[in-house]
């Protein structure tokens, strides 16, 4: 039976760090503030926003919301992002995506200054992550995976890791972070032959799945001693939330596995808050020019 790598203790550890940093900031009269830009009213976005606001308040992080209906013009959104850039009272920003088709997402997100890009969606912030310059943010889900691996003291240096999925903010970013940790990383995607995915998974010491495909990892992908980090969030045939791993097949075999829900996802929103707080800390250290 595998040990469960639960996200909650990891999240609590991140929250403890955030509270300490917030206390130090408060003494300097700074309240870390997250700007949320939401266009439209998708249920998932609203649910995430509600959770983020609740979490922020509990931690002493303020939230300013910029809400638009679906017909917002590119100019209005541009002005908002420029105002966020110029506002020293907003330290980090989250933009819900995808934006409606009439808004050029790359162009708009590129307006945001990388030091305020709390979820690392801009090319500039991604570049800083790859080159390890500027702030050391990574997209929140990718950073949450690393946080979880570190918390459970899972060694990465020289370890063979197979990542499934190369979505820019999830799989690809996780692969890059793991390379930075000196792991030997293989990346599979939709065009990797299923037999090759199975082989690379079985060869790995750690499997990270970020495909968004329920049941993708079965008994034939795993062997004893492995660690499985399941980033996928899917709705199973029974209507319940599940990961990419067939939990009942994988869990009896491997050494440790993250549950879904209650694994990586539990850490992700805390990382967003920590990015905002870290951005506030940096703004105090180096006032904007």
Member of 53, 67, 179, 213 binding ligand NAD (CB under 6 A): 213
Indicate whether 216 belongs to the interface with ligand NAD (CB under 6 A). Answer: yes
Ligand-binding annotation for 243, yes or no, is no
Nearest approach in angstroms of CB 82 to ligand NAD is: 27
Minimum CB distance to ligand NAD smaller for 72 or for 146: 146
Binding region for ligand NAD (CB under 6 A) out of 28-36, 58-66, 113-121, 160-168 = 160-168
- Residues 176-205, mask of contacts with ligand NAD (x by CB under 6 A): ------------xxx-x----x--------
Indicate whether 273 belongs to the interface with ligand NAD (CB under 6 A). Answer: no
Ligand-binding annotation for 28, yes or no, is no
- Residues 251-270, mask of contacts with ligand NAD (x by CB under 6 A): -------------xx--x--
Nearest approach in angstroms of CB 43 to ligand NAD is: 15
Ligand-binding annotation for 163, yes or no, is no
Minimum CB distance to ligand NAD smaller for 108 or for 144: 144
Binding region for ligand NAD (CB under 6 A) out of 53-61, 72-80, 152-160, 167-175 = 167-175
SS3 labels along the chain: CCEECCHHHHHHHHHHHHHHHHHHHHHCCCCCEEEEEEECCCHHHHHHHHHHHHHHHHHCCEEEEEEECCCCCHHHHHHHHHHHHHCCCCCEEEECCCCCCCCCHHHHHCCCCHHHECCCCCHHHHHHHHHCCCCCCCCHHHHHHHHHHHHCCCCCCCCEEEEECCCHHHHHHHHHHHHHCCCEEEEECCCCCHHHHHHHHHHCCEEEECCCCCCCECHHHCCCCCEEEECCCEECCCCCEECCECHHHHCCCCCEECCCCCCCHHHHHHHHHHHHHHHHHHHHHCCCC
Q: Which residues are annotated as a binding site for NADP(+)?
A: 165-167, 190, 233
Q: Which residues are annotated as a binding site?
A: 165-167, 190, 233
């Amino acid at each position: 039976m595998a040990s469960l790598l639960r996200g909650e203790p990891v999240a609590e550890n991140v929250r403890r760090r955030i509270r300490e940093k917030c206390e130090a900031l408060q003494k300097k009269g700074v309240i870390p503030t997250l700007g949320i830009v939401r266009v439209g009213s998708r249920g998932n976005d609203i649910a995430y926003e509600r959770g983020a606001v609740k979490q922020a308040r509990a931690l002493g992080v303020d939230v300013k919301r910029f809400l638009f209906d679906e017909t917002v013009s590119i100019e209005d959104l541009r002005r908002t992002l420029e105002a966020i850039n110029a506002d020293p009272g907003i330290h980090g920003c989250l933009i819900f995506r995808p934006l409606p088709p009439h808004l050029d997402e790359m162009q708009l997100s590129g307006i945001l200054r990388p030091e305020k890009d709390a979820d690392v969606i801009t090319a500039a912030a991604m570049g800083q992550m790859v080159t390890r310059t500027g702030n050391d943010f990574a997209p929140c889900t990718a950073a949450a995976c690393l946080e979880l691996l570190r918390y459970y003291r899972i060694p990465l240096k020289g370890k063979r890791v197979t990542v499934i999925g190369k979505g820019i903010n999830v799989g690809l970013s996780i692969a890059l972070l793991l390379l930075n940790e000196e792991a030997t990383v293989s990346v599979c995607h939709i065009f990797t032959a299923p037999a090759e995915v199975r082989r690379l998974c079985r060869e790995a010491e750690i499997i990270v799945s970020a495909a968004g495909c329920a049941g993708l990892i079965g008994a034939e992908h795993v062997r004893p001693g492995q660690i499985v980090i399941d980033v996928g969030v899917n709705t199973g045939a029974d209507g319940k939330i599940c990961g990419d791993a067939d939990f009942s097949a994988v869990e009896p075999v491997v050494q440790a596995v993250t549950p879904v829900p209650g694994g990586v996802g539990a850490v992700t929103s805390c990382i967003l808050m920590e990015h905002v707080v870290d951005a506030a800390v940096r703004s105090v250290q180096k006032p904007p020019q």
